[in-house]
Structure 1
Amino acid sequence: MSKPGLILVGAGGHAHACIDVIEQQGRYQIAGLIGMPDEVDSLHIGYSVIATDADLHELAGQYRHAFISVGQIRSPDVRIRLYFRLLELGFQLPTVISPAAYVSRHATIGVGSIVMHGAVVNAGAEVGDNCIINSRALVEHDAIVEANCHISTGAILNGNTRVGAGSYVGSGSVIREGIALGEGCMVGMGLSVRHSQASGTRFVG
């Protein structure tokens, strides 16, 4: 039985990491990537850029599944725009979980989100739609990650933390148990956040 085709929207470095997780998960056949006009026909670890954003409407008639493979650091705006555009066009956005990750059966992961190699999402944790839980990140028990967040490589969210929608937590940063980050926060790399932060805070050390 053939696997359903999946297009990846975004052809940068993050797409390469997504490709590897999708291949390892083994549920979809990657049909190609969506990139910029000057990227069409270029190869990315064996997969071609087959179209641009302008072609998504036509592609919706050929493929049921799409996944956002654009990264997120400074702003979630591009990922949010693509998320709603894909839903509007009728695409189904899968939840992608690496077989090398651990996601508790008592945790929930939203649609269009990816949990990458070595990440842990523990019991009672909730990850919203269109999120990136990057390699070796830890989302501890009962933590809540709202929609459109990126928890970067090796970051630690301790128990009962809350990360507001559209926030970014940088590589190796640690969020103390029980505290909350508001919406649209940015935490830089390698930092310890010991107190709750208001929406829009840039905590960069």
Structure 2
Amino acid sequence: MIKEQALSRNDLAKIWNASCGKHEAIEKNVHDLLAKLAWDFSPEQLEQLFDCFRESWTKASKKQREKLLELIRRLAEDDKEGLMANKVLELLWNISHDKLFPNEIIDQALAAHLKILDYSCLPEKEKTKLSWIDRMMEEVKQDQHVIISLKQMREICTQFSEHAYMHNMSRISYPLNRISLIDRLEEKHKITRVITENLCHYMENTRNCRE
């Protein structure tokens, strides 16, 4: 039915709504079904599913959000094409920036974000990590979500090896270990200066608030 594009937007909405506010067992069954069906979704169907995710965050209880996070993470972990994993990474990062969510949900979203980066079947996984580090550095430069960005950057950096591997070095265009990664961050983003200036700005604002 899905492969023949016979599943309409209305059908997908009905499947999703079948789990909303229902018993935990029903919710689990629907999530398991969607986790299997999603691999054959068209781009339009996949986008609709993610729209359902986004809409559900505003209504879900803490426990429902935890279940939703689990489903989102499952969709990304075995994605060999990268399309779903990248969409999930984007969604999780946006969740971590939403001030309406409690710290527990934000922490879970960030943990899932890290796990997908580290364990997923993303093509060119190391380059994907670098692109996220670059994005987080830009947020720090703009003084936006500084603490979350720096903490997540640190965790991503620890996913790189402490030691370089010598084989095939000439064919690899990304850092091989943490030292070369730090060198790249310093060269591209002037990370030491950016963090120092940000800290000074924070301390100045703190002093002004106390006066």
TM-score (norm 1): 0.30
TM-score (norm 2): 0.30
- By percentage of residues, which structure has more strand? 1
- By percentage of residues, which structure has more helix? 2
Which one has the largest radius of gyration?
2
